[in-house]
Amino acid sequence: MKVLITTDLYTTDTNGVVTSVKNLTEALVARGHEVRILTLADGVHSYRIGNVFYIRSLPLGVVYPDVRMPTSYHHRLVKQLIDWQPDVIHSQCEFFSFQFARYLSKHIGAPIVHTYHTLYEQYATYVLPIKGVGERAVGKLSKMRLKNVQCIIAPTRKVEDTLRGYGITVPISVVPSGIRLEQHRNRLSPEERAQKREALGIGPDTLVMINLGRLGNEKNLDELLRYFAESGQADMKFLIVGDGPAKEGLEKLAAQLGIADRVIFTGMVPPATVQEHYQLGDIFVSASTSETQGLTYVEAAANGLPLLCRQDPCLQDVMVRGENGYDFTDAEEFHRGLDAIAADENWRKNAARRSEQIAEAFSVEAFGAAVEAVYESVLVGGKV
DSSP per residue, 2-30: EEEEEES--S-SS-HHHHHHHHHHHHHHH
Mean pLDDT, range 213-233, rounded to an integer: 94
pLDDT for 384: 45
pLDDT for 12: 66
- Domain CATH code at residue 7: 3.40.50.2000
Q: State the chain's mean pLDDT as an integer.
A: 90
pLDDT at residue 125 above 60? no
pLDDT at residue 133 above 60? no
Q: Which residue has the higher pLDDT, 10 or 124?
A: 10
pLDDT for 220: 95
Task: Give yes or no: residues 145 and 268 share one domain.
Answer: no
140-154, 293-307, 334-348 — which one is most confidently predicted on average?
334-348
Task: Give yes or no: residues 197 and 327 share one domain.
Answer: yes
Task: Give yes or no: residues 212 and 255 share one domain.
Answer: yes
Mean pLDDT, range 126-154, rounded to an integer: 76
Using alpha carbons, select from 352, 344, 255, 264 the residue that is nearest to residue 306.
Answer: 352
What's the Cα-to-Cα distance from 229 to each of 71, 187, 331, rounded to whole Å?
Answer: 47, 31, 11
How does residue 382 score in pLDDT terms, banded at 50, 70 and 90? very low
pLDDT in tens, 147-190: 989 999 998 888 999 999 999 999 999 998 888 899 999 999 99
Task: Give yes or no: residues 160 and 39 share one domain.
Answer: yes
Task: Give yes or no: residues 111 and 37 share one domain.
Answer: yes
Q: Over 61-117, what HEC string results?
A: CCCCCCCEEECCCCCHHHHHHHHHCCCEEEECCCCHHHHHHHHHHHHHCCCEEEECC
pLDDT in tens, 306-328: 999 999 888 888 999 999 999 99
Task: Give yes or no: residues 357 and 372 share one domain.
Answer: no
C-alpha 241/C-alpha 196 separation (Å) is 14
- CA angle, residues 280, 286, 292, in degrees to nearest 5: 120
pLDDT at residue 383 above 50? no
C-alpha 78/C-alpha 99 separation (Å) is 12
Using alpha carbons, select from 214, 275, 204 the residue that is nearest to residue 244.
Answer: 214
Which has the minimum average pLDDT: 68-77, 117-126, 206-215, 218-227? 117-126
Task: Give yes or no: residues 82 and 202 share one domain.
Answer: no
Mean pLDDT, range 29-55, rounded to an integer: 95
pLDDT at residue 124 above 60? no
C-alpha 273/C-alpha 292 separation (Å) is 24
C-alpha 308/C-alpha 19 separation (Å) is 23
pLDDT for 27: 96
The residue range of the domain holding 283 is 181-361
Contact 81, 95 (CB under 8 A): no
For the chain, how many residues are written? 384
Task: Give yes or no: residues 155 and 208 share one domain.
Answer: no
What's the Cα-to-Cα distance from 340 to each of 202, 302, 359, rounded to whole Å?
Answer: 22, 21, 23
Q: Which residue has the higher pLDDT, 141 or 198?
A: 198
Which has the minimum average pLDDT: 64-68, 210-214, 359-363, 379-383? 64-68
pTM for the model stands at 0.75
Which has the minimum average pLDDT: 131-135, 216-220, 307-311, 361-365? 131-135
Contact 78, 100 (CB under 8 A): yes
Q: How many CB atoms lie within 10 A of CB 62?
A: 9
C-alpha 30/C-alpha 180 separation (Å) is 13
- Domain total for the chain? 2
Task: Give yes or no: residues 47 and 89 share one domain.
Answer: yes
C-alpha 291/C-alpha 310 separation (Å) is 11
Task: Give yes or no: residues 284 and 353 share one domain.
Answer: yes
Task: Give yes or no: residues 207 and 319 share one domain.
Answer: yes
Task: Give yes or no: residues 25 and 136 share one domain.
Answer: yes
pLDDT for 300: 97
Percent share of the chain, pLDDT over 90: 72
Using alpha carbons, select from 30, 88, 112 the residue that is nearest to residue 368.
Answer: 30
